[in-house]
Amino acid sequence: MSNSNVQYHNSIKAQIKTFKLSGERIELGERAYSLTSGFIADMSNWKVSLIKDSTLANISIFQGVSKDSLVIELEHSDKYVTADHLRDVYAVVITENQLEYVVVKSWYQKGGMELDTFTLPTTSSFGYFSATTCLNILLACKISIKASTKINEQKKQAILKLIEVDHAFVLGFIQRIPASPHERQAQWLHYEIQRVTAALYTNSRYYWSLLVDHKPSDYDLQALNR
């Protein structure tokens, strides 16, 4: 899709038609279905709050950030939250200086924490997580762009449409994968999943890059919560 207010950009569908595996190919190893593993979110699974009101509020590394920092947190069935213990908490954190995806594998109030962060505009993957993570976070990006007060409305609507098209294409691809593929299907899928995953990462970095200069005050809080 081309638009005078949008950097030249190819949809995931368009990219995979011409994509050739390179030295930067996605290494899936034995996990040929890594794109489809894990929880697949929809928009309603993402909840927005100020960091002081979020699940992350008691974690020491977040207590020094601005009280206006924003958290877009994923609600899912494996998430575990009590007053003194957190497990499997996934969130996008927007501070004055950073735009990150935060994974709290475990946290204990009395001490002990296992936490990973990924810088969203630049990350080429999400470590040990499946590409489904990137697909889910694309919805948090959509929420953020929709609430931006720095992106003009015409460009915003064009970008939101691009995200919708990309998300729908990848979701449709996942839904069409047979439960028990025969050998030729499995070989084709292993190759095709690499192509879709690479295009998903490429477009994700582009969308998040549009927000890299944003601070918490550059978002309409009411729009974030709609």
> How many C-beta atoms surround the C-beta of residue 24 within 10 A?
9
Tell me if 3 is assigned to some domain. Answer: no
In the prediction, which pLDDT does 53 show? 93
In the prediction, which pLDDT does 48 show? 95
163 pLDDT band (50/70/90 cuts)?
Answer: very high
Tell me if 2 is assigned to some domain. Answer: no
User: Following DSSP, what letter does each residue of 171-208 receive, concatenated?
Assistant: HHHHHHS-SS--HHHHHHHHHHHHHHHHHHHHHHHHHH
7 pLDDT band (50/70/90 cuts)?
Answer: low
- Give the C-alpha separation, 45 to 73, whole Å: 8
Tell me if 187 is assigned to some domain. Answer: yes
- Give the C-alpha separation, 128 to 78, whole Å: 17
> How many C-beta atoms surround the C-beta of residue 112 within 10 A?
9
Tell me if 5 is assigned to some domain. Answer: no
176, pLDDT greater than 90: no
In the prediction, which pLDDT does 186 show? 74
Which domain range does residue 160 map to? 12-224
Tell me if 57 is assigned to some domain. Answer: yes
Span 46-51, average pLDDT? 94
Tell me if 6 is assigned to some domain. Answer: no
Tell me if 22 is assigned to some domain. Answer: yes
pLDDT in tens, 75-119: 998 899 998 999 999 999 999 988 999 999 999 988 889 999 998
> How many C-beta atoms surround the C-beta of residue 31 within 10 A?
13
- Give the C-alpha separation, 37 to 52, whole Å: 32
What domain count does the chain have? 1
